Amino acid sequence: MSKTESGDKKYYRVLNILNRLNEGPVRIAALCAEFNISERSIQRDIERINLTGFQLDNPSKGVYAFAPGVSLKNYNLNSEQLSVLVLMRELAAGLGGAITDAFDKVFARATKSPGADSLFYAIGAKALNPLTRKFYEDIVFAIENRKKIKMLYASASGARERVVCPVKILTSESFFYLMAIPEPGPADGAKFIKYRVDRVRSLKILPDEFTPPSRETVKKVLGSATTIWGVNEGKTEKITLRAEGAAADFMINKEILPRQKVSKPGPDGAVTVAATIHHRMEVVPLVLHWLPEITVTAPDTLKAEVKARISEYLKKQA
């Protein structure tokens, strides 16, 4: 079979699944039997649809449906246009970076697609590091089928095998992360750990299944994170900044910190910025970037950390 014929069949199948989703939930097993292909191939079709922007829910194992409010009628596209949309999204994802971002913006503008929960949660730029693509489909499959995975992970302390229950895919600052729970699996008080996937040396899907944490629990952990550092179920910390000049304009017009509140400009144009963070690294890079137009006013421990980093930098420049 030629590559062209294979591609034609693939996109015909995706279009067929899209039309069925418009009528109601679809079952992976039934699609496998009808198209006479593997479960993994159907999962890839579902992934293409999800990544294109047609948000999907996974109400039960092996079952998918459009998220509430999603309908092909909302898109005002014919069959050929839908096929092109799916194809172009896949090409854009392969190019990554600005191309992927541009496609997402064009899609949102053209379709007015509503947001919904999915197994993908993008934090910041939606660009996947090409080095991590080889594990992407296996991780998606494991999450959707509630399968544990065994991986050889190279952390700062060295490489070792870990068995985890995968929960969510995260992207932040052009890196691809896996949010997972170590064995034995989800339970009250279970700790979520983030693994940078470009540090995974090998990955194997295990036959063992696990019961995933509730959506409410995952949503609480993700919270209002604006960077990967904000994905944390632990304690929070209130911080206050003073911004002036260009930094004040930036903070007024862009919500960069979680739970950010900006005061009205004072006579000198300066503003007070209050936020609630999970991790200091949610705010430290921002302060360093805008020095000297942003200063920390509280807490004192954050002031000390910024001073220490500046002092260490100056020592290295001496």
CATH number, position 195: 2.30.30
Residue-number span of the structural domain to which 256 is assigned: 237-317
The pLDDT value given to residue 312: 93
In a domain, 311, yes or no: yes
Residue 189 CB: number of other CB atoms within 10 A?
Answer: 5
Mean pLDDT of 146-161: 92
The length of the chain, given as a count of residues? 318
Residues 210 and 241 in one domain: no
137 with 223, same domain: the answer is yes
Q: Is residue 121 part of a domain?
A: no
Residue 123 resides in a domain: no
Q: pLDDT for 100-129, tens place per residue?
A: 666 666 666 555 544 334 444 444 444 444
**124 within some domain:** no
Same domain as 175, residue 263: no
Q: Same structural domain for residues 62 and 142?
A: no
Tell me the torsion sign for CA atoms 37, 40, 41, 46: positive
pLDDT score of 162: 94
H or E element that contains 116: none
d(CA 196, CA 200): 7
Same domain, 189 and 90: no
> Does 12 share its domain with 73?
yes
Q: Are residues 243 and 303 in the same domain?
A: yes
Domain boundary among 202, 230, 258: 230
Kindly state the average pLDDT of the residues 256-262. 87
- Report CA dihedral (37, 39, 40, 42) to the nearest 10 degrees: 70
Question: What is the average pLDDT across 127-140?
Answer: 65
Number of domains in the chain: 3
**224 in any annotated domain:** yes
Q: How far apart are CA 90 and CA 79, in angstroms?
A: 17
Amino acid occupying residue 284: V
Task: Judge if 100 and 37 occupy the same domain.
Answer: yes
**Domain membership flag for residue 219:** yes
Whether 4 shows a pLDDT value over 90: the answer reads no
Indicate whether 154 belongs to any domain. Answer: yes
Same domain, yes or no: 29 and 107: yes
Q: How far apart are CA 67 and CA 119, in angstroms?
A: 12
Whether residue 249 sits in one domain with residue 204: no
Instruction: Please state the pTM of the whole predicted model.
Output: 0.53
Check whether residue 187 and residue 225 sit in a common domain.
yes
Same domain, 31 and 85: yes
Which tens digits make up the pLDDT trace of 216-240? Answer: 888 888 877 777 888 875 678 999 9
